[in-house]
Structure 1
Amino acid sequence: MKPIVIPMATALALCASAASADTVLRASHQFPGGQGDIRDEMVQMMARDVAAADVGLTIEVYPGQSLFKAREQWGAITRGRLDITSLPLDYASGRHPEFSATLMPGLVRNQAHAQRLNDSEYMAMIKEVIIDGGARVLADAWLSGGFASSQQCITSPDTIEGQNIRAAGPAFEEMLEAAGASISSMPSSEIYTAMQTGVLDAANTSSMSFISYRLFEQVDCMTQPGDFALWFMYEPILISEQVWQGLDEAQQTALMEAGEAAEAFFAEEAAAIDQQMVDVYEENGVEVVSMSEEDYNAWLDIARETSYKNFAESVPNGQAIIDAALAVE
């Protein structure tokens, strides 16, 4: 039998094809792509860094809910149907009530405090639940936020009475409801339409979402985080634990290094986001106000009797999680 001779060009093409057969990871998130949203930028940055590491790994990014809806991402990633996501973790508190501690009124005071929380026993407890649930954190991110309304400025608790508001998670919903608000639950990506159609009068969300989703077109007053930021939300980049375990050591190292770089990028940019929001809203004719220390403390008084108390009583290990967070100066 004559030996099979493969032309050199064909052989080279086959080798190139084999070399380019990277493991492809799909990254999904709800935020607008290509519009400067820092959460999208973090994921895109990781995709570039992983490609540059040349470890046989490619990340394809699907922004704007183009692959999975916002509320579907946790279930998809823990079952291995999705590889990577940037997710407001409290969205999964229905499955893991411990996650409500990552959107607890007044728990995080500012970005510097958030950085200290990342290295605390509190965050170790949260990440243990994440791992047990089927995911793993590649990068930490805390976004501050505020209130906005088409009815009246929201400062002290009495200013929310009678308004229908989106609050993002159970802890804030309990506090706001106790102050006299009506609650509508939805992801941040649905706020604009809900305000446009009169379903919502007001909303709580991150400063970045207030910018990215152009909510200045639907509101008359914005309460900025300022010196008394009541609203901070943990929005990490996660990878499916099933997917993680299927990667080799070099690929895992590349992902962790890319996550660390994305986290550092976020930390540098985070402080400027609040001012960017203020500038955008003022430029579009929206009144911007701040909470006073008295307003802030009045909200915390309500939160302690509602959100904090309910979390401690109803969530396994709830009081220990709150205590661990409050122990971080």
Structure 2
Amino acid sequence: MKSMLKTAVAVMALAAATTSAHATELRLSHQWSNSDVRHQVAQIVADEVAAADVDLSVKIFGSSSLFKAREQYKPLSRGQLDMTVLPLSYAGGQQPAYNLTLMPGLVKNHDHAARLSHSPFMQALEDIMAEDDVMVLVHGYLAGGFAGTDKCITNPADMEGVQIRAAGKAFEQMLAGAGASIASMASSEIYNAMQTGVLQAANTSSSSFVSYRIYEQVSCYTPAGDVALWFMYQPLLMNKSTFEDLSEDQQNALLAAAEKAEAFYLEEAKKQDAASVQVFRDAGVEIAEMSPEDFEAWRAVAQDTSYKAFVEEVPNGQELLDMALAVE
């Protein structure tokens, strides 16, 4: 009897050891607070994976607590980090092709962004990621607009002689081409720069315009609406080898979670643009709209500045740009 009991205990111990050996914790890093939509996307993935009960968990390290904002791609590609929500253009230094994911005029609106995320253009970028042992779990773009202290900004003619802060190198190139003077600074510095007269205008994301209370310093806001110039691709990425080492059940749980998170991301991104409009309107700020004609005028400037520079600097840049522009 004692021997049978010992055997049973040994079997149970072995089973427990086997289970714990297959239990995997993935580390996910990002730079934002818990209230940010990008954290919420990560949380959906973590919650759905936990609910799937496949011995897999996702531990989220927000607010740059694990890696600095612009230093996440390299450890991800080396397998030192499992997952991250990252503006892909942050890794433009390692892979210049990624700079196309923050390029003026490539994306018209959120539905167009969703089509771009599942196009041959994005597949070409994912092929580049794969070379770095990186894959996309959740696609997502966030939009932005313009705000001016003295006037509305809807087309290139509005830029002549204006001191503006732009988000990203390609936008700086385009705005300078339209006659603006560029002041480079973090989005967190826009408020004080406007307050002291250093800036007359700014270009950033809808969420940053609200969170940094820019509505207190401007007379006019041009939000992302039916058309918008500023779209930034900010996916949830994963180390490819880490994903492939998971069991089939664990992989399926991650993919199902990612599908749910991506649908949420798209709808929430649209809501953030609309919410920003209401905040500025409530503050007494004039709301301007960019027309399709304005959009095409900006794109013409971008073609002579940002697009031209990208093609000159990036091998097969013209091919990648054409693939992006081909998405209707």
Question: Which TM-score applies when normalising by structure 1?
Answer: 0.85
| Counterpart check, 1:281 vs 2:280 | yes
- Cα 1:24–1:201, aligned 2, differ >3 Å: closer, same or farther? farther
| 1:177 CA drift (Å) | 2.0
Q: Distance in 2 between matches of 1:255 and 1:203?
A: 38
Q: Distance in 2 between matches of 1:219 and 1:246?
A: 52
What's the CA shift string for 1:181-235, capped at 9, x where partnerless? 344556xxx4124543667654333323434455445555321112321111211
When the two chains are superposed, the root-mean-square deviation of aligned CA atoms in Å is 3.0
| 1:12 CA drift (Å) | 8.2
| 1:41 CA drift (Å) | 1.0
Match of residue 296 from structure 1? 295
| 1:45 CA drift (Å) | 0.3
C-alpha contact 1:145 1:232 (8 A) present in aligned 2: yes
Match of residue 86 from structure 2? 87
Match of residue 163 from structure 1? 163
The code of the aligned residue for 2:98 comes to: F
Q: Distance in 1 between matches of 2:215 and 2:236?
A: 27
The code of the aligned residue for 1:328 comes to: V
**SS, match of residue 323 in structure 1:** helix
User: How is 1:198-209 mapped onto 2 (pairs within 5 angstroms)?
Assistant: 202-209=201-208
- Cα 1:27–1:209, aligned 2, differ >3 Å: closer, same or farther? farther
Q: Distance in 1 between matches of 2:114 and 2:122?
A: 11
Q: What 5-or-longer segments of structure 2 have no aligned partner?
A: none
C-alpha contact 1:192 1:218 (8 A) present in aligned 2: no
C-alpha contact 2:191 2:213 (8 A) present in aligned 1: no
The code of the aligned residue for 1:32 comes to: S
Q: Distance in 1 between matches of 2:13 and 2:202?
A: 55
The code of the aligned residue for 2:32 comes to: F
The code of the aligned residue for 1:120 comes to: S
The code of the aligned residue for 2:166 comes to: R
Question: Which TM-score applies when normalising by structure 2?
Answer: 0.85
The code of the aligned residue for 1:71 comes to: R
**SS, match of residue 72 in structure 2:** helix
Match of residue 62 from structure 1? 61
Match of residue 46 from structure 1? 45
| Counterpart check, 1:192 vs 2:191 | no
Match of residue 257 from structure 2? 258
| Counterpart check, 1:98 vs 2:97 | yes
Q: Distance in 2 between matches of 1:31 and 1:151?
A: 31
Match of residue 26 from structure 2? 25
Q: Distance in 2 between matches of 1:253 and 1:218?
A: 48
- What is the percentage of aligned positions where both structures have the same residue? 49
What's the CA shift string for 1:6-36, capped at 9, x where partnerless? 9x99x98997787567322111112221x2x
C-alpha contact 2:109 2:225 (8 A) present in aligned 1: no
C-alpha contact 2:166 2:184 (8 A) present in aligned 1: yes
What's the CA shift string for 1:78-106, capped at 9, x where partnerless? 22222211111111112211112112211
C-alpha contact 1:117 1:325 (8 A) present in aligned 2: yes
Match of residue 181 from structure 1? 180
| Counterpart check, 1:243 vs 2:242 | yes
Q: Distance in 2 between matches of 1:43 and 1:287?
A: 35
What's the CA shift string for 1:280-322, capped at 9, x where partnerless? 2222344332223443232122101111122222211111112
C-alpha contact 2:108 2:229 (8 A) present in aligned 1: yes
The code of the aligned residue for 1:314 comes to: E
| 1:71 CA drift (Å) | 1.0
- Cα 1:222–1:103, aligned 2, differ >3 Å: closer, same or farther? same
The code of the aligned residue for 1:110 comes to: N
Match of residue 146 from structure 2? 147
The code of the aligned residue for 1:166 comes to: A
Q: Distance in 1 between matches of 2:215 and 2:131?
A: 39
Match of residue 134 from structure 1? 133
The code of the aligned residue for 2:192 comes to: Q
Q: What 5-or-longer segments of structure 1 have no aligned partner?
A: none
Q: Distance in 1 between matches of 2:212 and 2:19?
A: 41
C-alpha contact 1:165 1:181 (8 A) present in aligned 2: no
- Cα 1:74–1:162, aligned 2, differ >3 Å: closer, same or farther? same
C-alpha contact 1:156 1:296 (8 A) present in aligned 2: yes
Q: Distance in 1 between matches of 2:274 and 2:108?
A: 17
The code of the aligned residue for 2:27 comes to: R
- Cα 1:13–1:206, aligned 2, differ >3 Å: closer, same or farther? farther
